[in-house]
Amino acid sequence: MDRVTAAEVFVDLAYSGSFTATAQRLDMSRPMVTRYIEAMEGWLAVRLFHRTTRKVTLTSAGEHCLKDVEAWLEAAHQLVSNANPSGELSDAIRIAVSPSFGYAHVAPALVEFMALHPRVSVDVDLEDTAVDLVEQRIDLAIRIASNPNPSLIGKPIAQCRSVMAASPSYLARFAAIRSPEDLVSHDCLGHKYFERNVWHLSRGDQHVAISVGCRLSANETSVLMQAAIQGAGVALLPTYLANQAISEGNLQPVLPDWQPPEMRIYGFYSSRKHLSPTVRALIDFMADYYAQHPWD
């Protein structure tokens, strides 16, 4: 059996703790995962995992082998890269991104990047919560933040501005919104992890913090946008998602002179030392792509 693939299966299983999860992530059958692990144990002449009906954990020998196998895998991949005189990218990488940004702007960029690099394959995980990049075997996480965790390593790839918006039907039914303070008496739609109960707004040198009542909140902005379109209230939405609905007349900006905090879109990765050429190339490509395809 291919020892490089067996090593990749071993490393993935060490972090996932599940034969089923590793099989799904590596796109192979569960019995094949078992065969690769058995082959690794045969080659190394040690038992690598404790197996029970509920969980899979590394043995002491497995823990001892893990870092060495990871280093060996990195060296093997680097050898392949160095032996490629054309410098053609050929990795398989995993990306984590929110569903709304992934659908609206990551998918088109990936299609163009993969057309330029036919030997690259990409596995996209759609999720809107923070993940452990090492544990989840994520090569690149695309996240929106104003003050990112300093422990994370990343590069800004685009700006993210937001807009307050509501449907024409909602605005026709309720009192006019002429100042930020008027939001207190309106139904607002809040993001679970951003400005959920207090909206910070600025106009020139003026800054206000408004406590809003959010009867509906969600951890995904596309849900909030659809609720706003259906007349549920005023939503604070990223312009990369809301601009099309506004241009089509399904949403109208609210208090357009008042701006929510501006954030950045980052490409985060786990280690500068082990950043693959493909991930580095994709980060640079996305930064250039979004500069050439602005949504604001």
> Residue 272 — pLDDT band, cuts 50, 70, 90?
low
Contacts for 149 with CB less than 8 Å, ≥ 6 apart: none
Burial of 205 (0-12, 13-18, 19+ CB in 10 A): exposed
Over residues 54-64, mean pLDDT: 89
Which of residues 130 and 172 earns the better pLDDT score? Answer: 172
Over residues 263-280, mean pLDDT: 80
> Residue 122 — pLDDT band, cuts 50, 70, 90?
very high
pLDDT at residue 245 above 90?
A: yes
pLDDT at residue 202 above 60?
A: yes
pLDDT at residue 244 above 90?
A: yes
Q: Do domains 3-82 and 162-261 have the same CATH topology?
A: no
Query: Which region among 41-45, 166-170, 241-245 has the lowest average model confidence (pLDDT)?
Result: 41-45
Place of tokens 């990551």: 106
Pick the closest to residue 191 from 222, 166, 165, 170 (CA basis): 222
What does the pLDDT read at residue 85?
Answer: 55
Q: Does domain 92-158+264-292 have CATH number 3.30.420.40?
A: no
Q: Please, which residues bridge with residue 56 across strands?
A: 51
Cα separation of 90 and 77, whole Å? 10
Query: Which region among 47-61, 141-155, 211-225, 235-249 has the lowest average model confidence (pLDDT)?
Result: 141-155
Place of tokens 């680097």: 78
Over residues 45-68, mean pLDDT: 89
3-state helix, strand, coil in the chain (%, to 5): 40, 25, 35
Angle made by CA atoms 181, 264, 294, in degrees to the nearest 5 = 95
> Residue 271 — pLDDT band, cuts 50, 70, 90?
low
What does the pLDDT read at residue 81?
Answer: 61
Q: Which parts of the chain are beta strand (E)?
A: 49-51, 56-58, 92-97, 121-126, 140-145, 153-160, 162-166, 187-191, 198-203, 206-211, 213-218, 234-238, 252-253, 263-269
What does the pLDDT read at residue 89?
Answer: 82
How is residue 179 annotated by DSSP?
S
Domain residue spans of the chain: 3-82, 92-158+264-292, 162-261
Would you list the DSSP string of 50-75? EE-SS-EEE-HHHHHHHHHHHHHHHH
CATH number of 3-82: 1.10.10.10
pLDDT at residue 273 above 70?
A: no
Contacts for 204 with CB less than 8 Å, ≥ 6 apart: none
Query: Which region among 122-131, 218-227, 275-284 has the lowest average model confidence (pLDDT)?
Result: 122-131
Cα separation of 103 and 127, whole Å? 12
CATH class of 162-261: alpha beta
Contacts for 289 with CB less than 8 Å, ≥ 6 apart: 109, 112, 113
> Residue 260 — pLDDT band, cuts 50, 70, 90?
very high
Which of residues 150 and 62 earns the better pLDDT score? Answer: 62
Pick the closest to residue 98 from 193, 231, 228, 215 (CA basis): 193
Cβ atoms of 245 and 226 within 8 Å: the answer is no
Query: Which region among 70-74, 82-86, 290-294 has the lowest average model confidence (pLDDT)?
Result: 82-86
